[in-house]
Chains A and B, each alone.
Chain A
Amino acid sequence: MQVFYFLIETIIKCVVVFACLMLSVAYLTWLERKVLGHIQIRFGPNRCGPFGLLQPFSDGIKAFFKEDLIPGSADKPVFVLAPMIAIISAISMFAVIPFGNQFTLPGTDYVVKLRIADIDIGLLYVFGIASLGEFGIVLGGWASGNKYGLTGSLRAAAQMISYEVALGLSIVGVILLSQSLRLTEIVALQAGGFWHWNIIYQPAAFVFFIVCALAEINRTPFDMPEAESELACGFNIEYSSMKFALFFMAEYAHMITVASIAVTLFLGGWQAPLPFLEFIPGVFWFGAKVFILIFFFIWQRGTFPRLRYDQIMKFGWKVLFELTLINILITAFVMLLKG
């Protein structure tokens, strides 16, 4: 009977999380266009429904009915597979993130934990799946049979793997503090108010993590793979209809997931910022913190210009790599002194 309940709980949680993630992705595209519009003194989408709120659905329906074009010079199987890899990996990353505390089902003694899976190597899982996402972009650009696409995907590959090294190093400090790769344990150690959050002990690591994460999800100022003004549209230049929409959704899903990981590792996950606010459910706090980070991602897109490619690569290898190493050594040394 226990197994039966477990299966039902798992299926419900998977479907609900998937639906919420997809809905957030849809409205994130709306939010980004709206915020960018207001930053640039425009209105943004305002025709479909009140405040343009139906715009994401209009875009989605349009994507389904557009002509599904595969260029003659493309490598067809890889061309079709690439957007699928991108979206699958972007969605799958969310599977281990604890987005809330547990609660008891009313009327029973059945405890529901608000996370899809709680595995002991959660952090490794996240980084493993994140690396898979690079294949979508690299293969997509390569298989298009287009010079812009090839250039975009090569740049994407080099940029993403360069920043992955610094990204991996920047979180070692957090692992040192929490002595676990299980995300639920990392969150549990940050309970009891914002002065227990990892960002207080590892402020530099948080900044490195955000910078590397921006490079990983190809946001401005690191949006080299797309670089509209140089490469037309980069890796997704030949994509149309739903295949393009999948790349688009993968980018936004990736953004939500990266913000969730940053919240889990550094900002206390679903924990309330002040102890007396703990009566509000953890899901609310998790959502609020993720929203603040995502708003920052959009805001800085409207503020910073794109960097030059050689500057990006130099910054990644010559500056971030060393700073993250120094951060690890200092953290380990201080921990040694404190015993």
Chain B
Amino acid sequence: MLIDYLPILFYVAIAIFFACFAILASHLLGQRKPTRLKEAPYECGMNTYGSSFRRVPIKYYIIAMLFLLFDIEVVFLYPWAVIFKELKMFGFISMAIFLAILIIAYIYIWKKGALEWE
């Protein structure tokens, strides 16, 4: 039923109101005397050099792609787990085949060195 979600809406509305209130109140109450040095990025007191929006190591993108692949697999497991008792042997074998295919991919990325951080 959609009405089950109404309390969540109320609750999230309270949370959003609280966040907006906190940001706005500190914006109005706090003093503001910005200077050039204050606005500079903090780098432990050293002079800053270059832009902070730099290129980042490719490793992070690989991890993000692997996450997409394996998290979708987790989502597949949820409905399977809910009705597992009705599926019985059929469900077990089909999920075992699905996981076996996935583990082949997992071994492949391991051997390719996608999980190494040195």
Contact = CB atoms under 8 A, between A and B. Distances in A.
Contacts of B88: 336
Contacts of A63: 26
A165 interface: yes
B8 A116 contact: yes
Contact of A168 (B31, B71, B89): B71
Contacts of A87: 15, 18-19, 22
Contacts of B103: 325
A334 to B, nearest CB: 11
A83 B23 contact: yes
Nearest to A162: B63
Contact of A88 (B19, B43, B84, B117): B19
Q: Give the bracket for the number of chain B residues in contact with chain A.
A: 35 or more
Interface stretch (A13-21, A100-108, A279-287): A13-21
A321 B78 CA distance: 16
Name, among B6, B15, B31, B77, the residue most crowded by chain A CB atoms within 10 Å (CB to CB): B15
B81 A68 contact: no
A13 B11 CA distance: 9
B70 A238 contact: no
Contact of B29 (A17, A64, A168): A64
A217 interface: no
Interface string B7-42: 110111011101110110111011111101011111
Interface SS of chain B: helix, strand, loop or mixed? helix
A313 B43 contact: no
Nearest to B114: A317
A83 B24 CA distance: 13
Given A67-B32, A162-B67, A318-B115, A13 B77 contact: no
B41 A71 contact: yes
A117 B1 CA distance: 11
Name, among B14, B64, B83, B96, the residue most crowded by chain A CB atoms within 10 Å (CB to CB): B14
Name, among B38, B39, B64, the residue most crowded by chain A CB atoms within 10 Å (CB to CB): B39
Interface in B61-101: 63-64, 66-67, 70-71, 74-75, 77-78, 81-85, 88-89, 92, 95-96, 99
A321 B14 CA distance: 37
Name, among A162, A179, A242, the residue most crowded by chain B CB atoms within 10 Å (CB to CB): A242
B44 interface: yes
Contact of A150 (B14, B56, B118): B56
Contacts of B41: 71, 73, 144-147, 238
Interface stretch (A153-161, A194-202, A256-264): A153-161
Interface in A280-339: 309-310, 313-314, 317-318, 321, 325, 328-329, 332-333, 335-336
B5 A119 contact: yes
27 contacts: A13-B7, A14-B11, A65-B29, A67-B31, A69-B39, A71-B39, A87-B15, A91-B18, A92-B15, A117-B4, A119-B4, A125-B8, A144-B41, A150-B54, A154-B56, A158-B60, A168-B74, A168-B75, A172-B81, A175-B81, A179-B82, A179-B85, A232-B44, A242-B22, A314-B115, A317-B66, A325-B103
Given A87-B18, A118-B4, 4 more contacts: A17-B11, A64-B29, A157-B64, A161-B64
Interface of A: 10-11, 13-15, 17-18, 22, 63-73, 80, 83-84, 87-88, 91-92, 94-96, 116-120, 123-125, 144-150, 154, 157-158, 161-162, 164-165, 168-169, 172, 175-176, 179-181, 232, 237-238, 241-243, 245-246, 309-310, 313-314, 317-318, 321, 325, 328-329, 332-333, 335-336
